[in-house]
Amino acid sequence: MARVLPSDAVSLIEHQFPWVISGGSPSGASYANGASLAGVTDVVEQIPDSLLSFSGVQRSDFLFAISSLRHLVNRLESGTSSAGGAWPWPTVGNTNVVTRLWMLLKECPDEAVSEATDVLEFIDDTMLRQNLRRDLSSADDALNNGEWKAATVLAGSLVESLLLWAIGRRSNVEIGNAITAASLIQKPDAAKLENWNLAQYIEVAFALNIISESTATQARLAKDFRNLIHPGREKRTRMQCDRGTARSSAAAVDLVVREIRGSAAALGILVS
């Protein structure tokens, strides 16, 4: 079953209440608004809590918005009129509660990182670390949901990115020596590290003692499955992703993470 994403709710609010975009609002809510308000509230409550990334004050505003809209819907559905014929819109501060809800949801991501995801504390580039953790969380979700190809290919991509980072922390001399020592028919260009393929990252990382022989062996399996991202190769080789390829690739990620963590600590670049 597809999840309701914050962006889905944002689009719905804009469609039902276009005045939120301009910052204005009608003077009061009438019976005609009841169905739209009830629908929006129901949809928002279907958003997974993991995607509602709020600070303390923002969460208070969010909970107040949902509660006050529920109250307003009940008033409107009862048919009871206020003294002026329409119920005043609830507000958060001076902001219409629907507008405030829309503003809050606009700040929420459609993709969240599971709390169980490895923190990758050895990656000292904050943006890279966040991106890798997001991909790692997505790969875990795909594996748990039986999305074998997505899990397999994502894991292969993670192995590639992690090894690129780890190799890039070494000196040009070390990388050059490792390229010479690596068991590769096609030697990569040390000056164009980001243009290497996964096989080259694996063998050079092994030559640098970043990863062990057993981890390199597991990563080589992920290398083969990584190629399935290209439809032509899948057609030529008849290779298919299944539970085995997904779990094998996931194991490669876990092993690579463990050994790069140890390598990073030895180099004194472990960050908190």
Question: Does the domain made of 126-266 have the CATH classification 1.10.3720.10?
Answer: no
Say which range, 78-87, 155-164, 220-229, 254-263, has the weakest mean pLDDT: 78-87
Whole-number average pLDDT of the chain = 86
- Give the per-residue pLDDT at 271: 47
pLDDT tens per residue across span 111-155: 766 767 777 888 888 888 888 888 888 888 888 889 988 899 899
Confidence of residue 105 (pLDDT cuts 50, 70, 90): very high
CB 39, CB 81: distance < 8 Å: no
Q: What share of the chain is helix, strand, coil (3-state, %, to 5)?
A: 65, 0, 30
Residue corresponding to tokens 């590639």 = 160
Q: In angstroms, rounded to a whole number, what is the distance separating the alpha carbons of residues 95 and 82?
A: 21
pTM of the model: 0.63
Residue 82 half-sphere exposure toward CB, CA atoms < 13 A: 14
Question: What are the extents of the domains in the chain?
Answer: 6-106, 126-266
Q: In angstroms, rounded to a whole number, what is the distance separating the alpha carbons of residues 223 and 229?
A: 11
pLDDT tens per residue across span 178-221: 999 998 888 998 899 999 999 999 999 999 999 999 999 999 88
| H-helix or E-strand spanning residue 250 | helix 243-266
pLDDT tens per residue across span 158-189: 999 999 999 999 999 999 999 999 988 889 98
**Could you give the percent of the chain with pLDDT greater than 90?**
48
